[in-house]
Chain A
Amino acid sequence: AQTVTQSQPEMSVQEAETVTLSCTYDTSESDYYLFWYKQPPSRQMILVIRQEAYKQQNATENRFSVNFQKAAKSFSLKISDSQLGDAAMYFCAYRRFQGAQKLVFGQGTRLTINP
């Protein structure tokens, strides 16, 4: 079974600075998807960024980018120019390329932005 591990329960960063959230996963499959979701206090899970494992290029969405290291099974999220609105729980998630489409989530990292 696939597992996702986020080793940082909490992180904090000064506003306008850059922060990196870590995620590792375990799978025997070669094709899959990886995601970062954000969960603010409203509880709504919001997709931040996604990566297809067959793509070597790291995904980027505005201030959010990933460092995808397939061999190391690592998928970190970098947030540049941190803003107060970025404060939330961040979850890393894995999904098989075929078959069952459920997401497997990590335990989450709580990100605090200091003004």
Chain B
Amino acid sequence: GAGVSQSPSNKVTEKGKDVELRCDPISGHTALYWYRQSLGQGLEFLIYFQGNSAPDKSGLPSDRFSAERTGGSVSTLTIQRTQQEDSAVYLCASSLVRANVLTFGAGSRLTVL
């Protein structure tokens, strides 16, 4: 597609449930990023994938969070045993290898009741 696509746009879940958020980057973009934006806050880095290199997971807040990227394209962010503090907008972005500009998706808003 022409842009970064994220699904679902909105997700409401109950505390303790697992959720999966999907990101489909721009075709040809080998770098993919996940960020979290809590209400009224800035963007918090979660994880970064670059080609076949080991991902930079330094921003994942706990072991309940994980992400994978299959075939160098689509990425899934999984949150296990969701907590209320996980409620946020999860933004995905992609870029070319040596580009310094990230293109963002519209985000997935997660609400944990």
Contacts and interface: CB of A to CB of B under 8 A. Distances in A.
A and B co-occur in one complex:
yes
Interface of A: 33, 35, 37, 42-47, 50, 91, 95, 100-108
Nearest to A104: B45
Interface string B27-70: 00001010100000111010010100000100100000000000
B104 A44 contact: yes
A50 B91 contact: no
B93 interface: yes
Given A33-B100, A101-B31, A102-B56, A91 B42 contact: yes
Contacts, number: 51
A74 B77 CA distance: 34
Top 3 A-B residue pairs of the complex, sorted by shortest distance between their CB atoms: A45-B104, A105-B43, A107-B42
B95 interface: yes
Given A44-B105, A95-B100, 12 more contacts: A33-B100, A37-B104, A44-B104, A45-B91, A101-B100, A102-B33, A102-B48, A102-B56, A105-B35, A105-B43, A106-B42, A107-B41
B106 A108 contact: no
Interface of B (DSSP majority class) = strand
Nearest to B93: A45
Contacts of A45: 43, 91, 93, 102, 104
Interface residues of B, number: 23
A100 B48 contact: yes
A105 B43 CA distance: 6
Interface string B76-113: 00000000000001010101000011101111010000
Contacts of B50: 101
A100 B43 CA distance: 17
A105 B44 CA distance: 7
A108 to B, nearest CB: 5
A102 B45 contact: yes
Given A101-B48, A101-B50, A102-B33, A42 B43 contact: no
